[in-house]
Amino acid sequence: MIEFSHVGKSYGDLTVFRDFNERIEDGELVIITGKSGSGKTTIMNLLLKEIEPDTGKIYLKRRCLSDVKTSEIPFYRRDIGVVFQDFKLFDDRTVYGNLEVVRNLTGGNRKETERRITSVLTMMGIDRLHKRRPKELSGGEKQKVCMARAIINNPAVLLADEPTGNLDPESSAEVMKLLELIHRQGTTILLATHDFKTAESLLSRGRRIDLDQRSSSGYSSSGISVRERNSLEQYPT
């Protein structure tokens, strides 16, 4: 359902991907690992159409992303839930309000909205916090709100970019458990992390794409092939 076909992406003279190919089936759970700068966030941004590939094609639900018009992007993004390291919650709204604003974008009546918000907050184990504002929550609690927000409209795909980057080990483990729960309900999940240890518990449900491994067997992030680099190293200037 998600496919990267011969994708190339550079920022100026930094080539992050030269020929990236990957297929992710419906309902898969994929852990994307790689050191800082290996391109994890770039993959997320390409899928969100925040950025465009230089070459190659990306498909989501058989639709080529280059065919999604700029005016359609907000609708396109509604089928993708996102969780970030730095939460990105509205500070002036309550937990309930943060979910309501996202739910209202897709219409539906008030009773339904209320039911759905209660249901996802209960699923994340934080219904009791619905009246709090983000500044009254711990990091782990904030991230649970973000996960509730990400799934409120039943997206087909959930992108989680370093969701545990700001959390202690205990909260991180809870976030992993909740991702597992969301996955069990049929959502396709892409989880990016530089710390595979935290996500290892999810491996039984999914698979790992290691961008470091990929670059060492193909192209390095500097854009030259490993073979080219090795031969350069043999002949230092």
Q: Which residues of the shown chain bind Mg ion in the complex (CB under 5 A)?
A: 40-41
State the binding partner of 16 from ligand ATP, Mg ion, none, CB within 5 to 8 A by kind. ligand ATP
Q: Is the CB of 34 or the CB of 134 nearer to ligand ATP?
A: 34
Q: Is the CB of 83 or the CB of 95 nearer to ligand ATP?
A: 83
Q: Is the CB of 80 or the CB of 126 nearer to Mg ion?
A: 80
d(C-alpha 227, C-alpha 118), whole Å: 55
Please state the separation of Cα 51 from the chain's center in Å. 15
Residue 109 CB, nearest distance to ligand ATP (Å)?
39
Residue 7 CB, nearest distance to Mg ion (Å)?
17
Residue that is written with structure tokens 């939460």 in the block: 87
H or E element, residue 115: helix 110-123
State the binding partner of 14 from Mg ion, ligand ATP, none, CB within 5 to 8 A by kind. ligand ATP
State the binding partner of 81 from Mg ion, ligand ATP, none, CB within 5 to 8 A by kind. none
Residue 16 CB, nearest distance to Mg ion (Å)?
11
Which residues of this protein are in contact with ligand ATP, per CB under 6 A?
Answer: 11, 14, 16, 34, 36-42, 194
Q: Is the CB of 105 or the CB of 224 nearer to ligand ATP?
A: 224
Q: Is the CB of 152 or the CB of 199 nearer to ligand ATP?
A: 199
Q: Is the CB of 38 or the CB of 164 nearer to ligand ATP?
A: 38
Please state the separation of Cα 172 from the chain's center in Å. 16
Residue 106 CB, nearest distance to ligand ATP (Å)?
29
Long-range contacts of 166-173 (CB under 8 A, 24+ apart): 166/85, 166/86, 166/139, 167/139, 167/140, 167/143, 168/139, 168/140, 169/198, 170/140, 171/138, 171/139, 171/140, 171/143, 172/198, 173/198, 173/201
Residue 214 CB, nearest distance to Mg ion (Å)?
16
H or E element, residue 101: helix 95-104
3-state secondary structure of 188: strand
State the binding partner of 153 from ligand ATP, Mg ion, none, CB within 5 to 8 A by kind. none
d(C-alpha 225, C-alpha 185), whole Å: 41
- Is the Cβ–Cβ distance between 202 and 29 less than 8 Å? yes
